[in-house]
Amino acid sequence: MILKLLLIIAVIAVVYFLFIKKKPLKNNKYKKAKEKLQSNDMVECKTCGIYAEVGDSILSGSSYYCSQECLEKAQ
């Protein structure tokens, strides 16, 4: 009786781990690599909407600004 119960629990566990449990996505590594900005990538200024290179822009919080003037306008 106990052996049957253990066998049923084992089958349920195998079915759960093989078919139901969500596996982590392998694309997360590649997605994070694509999101990294390089110094020559263009970003949009949050205030005026002009595009500037990442190396020339100002990052404040999670927003990019093309100049100190635009940064001050936003605050």
Domain boundaries, the chain: 2-74
Q: pTM of the prediction? A: 0.51
Tens digit of each residue's pLDDT (9 = 90 or more) over 1-19? 889 999 999 999 998 888 8
The span from the CA of 16 to the CA of 11, in Å, is 9
Question: Tokens standing for 64?
Answer: 């990019």
CA distance to 11, 23, 32, 42, per residue, from 17 (Å): 10, 9, 27, 44
Provide the CB-side half-sphere exposure for 6 (13 A, CA).
3
46 has a pLDDT exceeding 50: yes
